[in-house]
Amino acid sequence: MEAPLTIFYTARLQGDLDLAPRLFSFIRMLKAQTEGSTLLLDMGESSDLRVWHCAITGGRSALFALDAMGYDAANADHLHPQNRAKTRTGMRLALIGTGESVRLKGARVLVPPDISGANPARLNILLISAGETLLESGTLSLEGVDAGQVGMAQIAFGAGGAELAAAGVYTLSPDTPPDPTIAGAVDFILSEAHYLLKKAQEKRR
């Protein structure tokens, strides 16, 4: 039997970059307990334009943090398509908007509605929050999670196709230590945002 695929996912970071270093440590711990390959996805609402660094970067600051954390794909529907294309440059992270999809590790990750129904895959992963985690007709819906939570869905592949082997939602413990590398990445992202803010303030004078 083929090795399972485990999907870890988050949502609703809403620009809280202070959470990122501890969240990364938690995700790394969960991955260490997992056999087979993994995907790390963000379901959306990573940015909140009421947060200063999200506003000054057009919602990109949180995506830069997700990229530093090794995410494979993120729902970036909050970005205008042109801005999304510009942000993808130099990123490993796949940014997906409405009607777009990307193939990762044999699965197709997409934000509905699907653009064509073409490009069939053995597993389709919907990158939007659902009421519960379900796998129906090869399409995986993922239960919604809040900031500070990590969702998990493990998919087994056999002669009958893909099956949902396990699913759950894990809550970040407040005593989880921050990862120093991600803390440094967040500091850099914020320093760049401060620079953009300063430039914007100078233009208004």
Q: How far is CA 118 from CA 79, 96, 106, 108, in A?
A: 25, 17, 15, 11
What phi and psi, each to the nearest 5 degrees, are found at residue 125?
Answer: -115, 120
Residue 19 DSSP one-character state = G
CA distance 54 to 63: 10
Domain that holds residue 25: 2-204
Tokens, residue 192: 């760049």
Q: Tally the domains of the chain.
A: 1
CA 146 to chain centre: 13
Q: Between the CA atoms of 90, 67, 31 and 127, what dihedral angle is there, to the nearest 10 degrees?
A: -100
Taking only the tens of pLDDT, the chain with its 205 residues reads 588 999 999 999 999 999 999 999 999 999 999 989 999 999 999 999 999 999 999 899 999 999 999 999 999 988 877 778 778 888 999 999 998 999 999 899 999 886 555 455 689 999 999 999 999 988 999 999 999 999 999 999 988 788 999 999 999 999 999 999 999 999 999 999 999 999 888 888 7
Per DSSP bridges, beta strands 2-10 and 37-42 are parallel
- Give the CATH number of the domain where residue 34 resides: 3.60.21.10
Residues 6+ apart with CB under 8 A from 121: 103, 106, 107, 108, 138
Q: What percent of the chain clears pLDDT 70, i.e. is strictly above it?
A: 96
- Asked whether 67 and 93 are in contact (CB, 8 A), the reply is yes
Tens-place pLDDT, residues 17-76: 999 999 999 999 999 999 899 999 999 999 999 999 999 998 999 999 999 999 999 999
End-to-end Cα separation, the chain, in angstroms: 66
- Asked whether 42 and 66 are in contact (CB, 8 A), the reply is yes
